């Protein structure tokens, strides 16, 4: 499958503000996944010490995307919208499924090999990759405010994560995380591609969820100690509720908002908005870990409020305001 070249398009100004709010909603739903996934993975590691580190993330992601695909299929059937997909819709759905699954797998495996703060910082490299690709494609440098905003987001995320550049080393885990960010760049560009502008977002989302689950299932099965552990990972009510929240909020809601509303913004603006995800993750981490620890019977403490949240968050928000105040005329 290849993506045909198409001319750039300008987003509808009337929908720009609403699209920005919807993508912030995506960031909030994905930010919620950080403490939920962290708690789930800790619980799986304690209950199944013999399992590979990648088993918990791979199996939970498989279930989340499979569940989202089934729920979306049921919704489309109820709405009478189960008509056949067009060729462009099939292409976009498959591309998005593969990009999403590959990016998440690289990110999860990289997280097993590096510090969480480093992972949070390097994942946001798409704030640089997307403007760089757009500049290469258009053969024009990004607007000065876009370059400044991208730099502000990276600095803000670095402060938010408490990154120490003196100790940062690029080993396998770091390169995997950068690779994940590159794949997420492809995902962002695939969503906003003008050739796919006429696609129906909900059927495309359904196919993307199914493709993602199909991509992840072999990894989950290969890393599972046995069939019993596949059932055990969802048998406890607390674990099942955790996965249900991840499926409904972080996967179904978050991805549908992205696939539906990102097309109304430039790719560079969308990438900078997605830089708000760590800000939401930090906010949720002040409250949820303690509650999840009690429900799952694990050791997981709430994070403490620090000045870095205010400083890093202000830089990220300021970067997005800088871009939104004067929308780009080009992608």
pLDDT, tens digit, for every residue of 193-226? 889 989 999 999 999 999 999 999 999 999 998 8
Q: d(Cα 175, Cα 107) in Å, to the nearest integer?
A: 10
Residue 2 covered by a domain: no
Q: DSSP string spanning 148-194?
A: HHHHHHHHHHHHHHT--TTT----HHHHHHHHHHHHHHHHHHHHH-G
pLDDT, tens digit, for every residue of 274-300? 988 888 888 898 899 999 999 999 998
Residue 99 covered by a domain: yes
pLDDT, tens digit, for every residue of 14-46? 688 899 999 999 999 998 988 898 899 899 989
- Whose CA is closest to 106, among 175, 8, 197? 175
Mean pLDDT of the chain: 87
Tell me what pLDDT residue 324 has. Answer: 73
Tell me what pLDDT residue 147 has. Answer: 87
Tell me what pLDDT residue 87 has. Answer: 94
Under a CB-based contact definition with an 8 Å cutoff, are residues 40 and 239 in contact? yes
Task: Decide if pLDDT at 11 tops 70.
Answer: no
Residue 164 covered by a domain: yes
Residue 20 covered by a domain: yes
Under a CB-based contact definition with an 8 Å cutoff, are residues 62 and 213 in contact? yes
Residue 44 covered by a domain: yes
Of 216-220, 241-245, 309-313, least confident by mean pLDDT is 309-313
Q: What is the average per-residue pLDDT within 222-247?
A: 93
Q: d(Cα 267, Cα 264) in Å, to the nearest integer?
A: 9
Task: Decide if pLDDT at 8 tops 50.
Answer: no
Task: Decide if pLDDT at 1 tops 70.
Answer: no
Residue 193 covered by a domain: yes
Number of domains in the chain: 1
Residue 7 covered by a domain: no
Tokens describing residue 13: 């100004």
What domain range includes position 33? 14-325
HSE-CB for 220 with a 13 A CA cutoff: 24
pLDDT, tens digit, for every residue of 103-138? 999 988 887 787 766 777 788 888 889 988 988 888
- Pairwise pLDDT comparison (185 vs 313), residue with the higher score: 185
Tokens describing residue 26: 């995506």
Q: d(Cα 195, Cα 88) in Å, to the nearest integer?
A: 8
Residue 331 covered by a domain: no
Residue 311 CB contacts under 8 Å (≥ 6 apart), including other chains: 156, 159
Q: d(Cα 331, Cα 192) in Å, to the nearest integer?
A: 10
Residue 167 CB contacts under 8 Å (≥ 6 apart), including other chains: none
Dihedral sign, CA of 207, 5, 104, 202?
negative
pLDDT, tens digit, for every residue of 46-102? 999 988 888 999 999 999 999 999 999 999 999 888 888 999 999 999 999 999 999
């Amino acid at each position: 499958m290849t993506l045909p070249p198409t001319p750039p398009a300008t987003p509808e100004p009337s929908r720009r503000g609403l699209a920005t709010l919807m993508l912030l909603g995506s960031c909030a739903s994905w930010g919620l996944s950080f403490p939920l996934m962290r708690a789930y993975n800790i619980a799986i590691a304690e209950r199944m010490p013999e399992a590979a580190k990648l088993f918990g993330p791979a199996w939970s992601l498989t279930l989340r995307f499979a569940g989202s695909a089934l729920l979306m299929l049921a919704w489309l059937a109820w709405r009478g919208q189960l008509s056949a997909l067009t060729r462009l819709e099939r292409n976009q759905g498959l591309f998005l499924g593969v990009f999403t699954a590959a990016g998440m797998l690289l990110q999860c495996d990289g997280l097993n090999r590096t510090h969480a703060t480093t992972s949070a910082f390097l994942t946001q490299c798409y704030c640089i990759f997307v403007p760089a690709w757009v500049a290469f494609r258009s053969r024009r440098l990004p607007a000065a405010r876009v370059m400044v905003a991208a730099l502000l987001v990276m600095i803000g995320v670095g402060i938010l994560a408490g990154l120490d550049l003196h100790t940062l080393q690029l080993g396998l885990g770091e390169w995997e995380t950068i690779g994940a960010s590159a794949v997420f760049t492809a995902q962002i560009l695939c969503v906003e591609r003008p050739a796919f502008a006429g696609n129906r977002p909900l059927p495309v989302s359904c196919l993307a969820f199914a493709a993602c689950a199909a991509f992840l299932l072999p990894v989950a099965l290969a890393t599972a100690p046995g069939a019993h552990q596949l059932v055990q990972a969802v048998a406890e009510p607390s674990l099942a509720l955790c996965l249900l929240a991840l499926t409904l909020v972080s996967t179904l809601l978050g991805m549908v908002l992205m696939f539906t509303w990102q097309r109304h913004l430039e790719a560079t603006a969308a990438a900078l908005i997605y830089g708000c995800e760590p800000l939401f993750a930090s906010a949720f981490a002040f409250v949820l870990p303690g509650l999840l620890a009690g429900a799952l019977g694990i050791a997981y403490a709430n994070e403490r409020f620090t000045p870095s949240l205010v400083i890093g968050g202000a830089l990220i928000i300021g970067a997005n305001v800088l871009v939104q105040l004067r929308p780009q005329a080009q992608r």
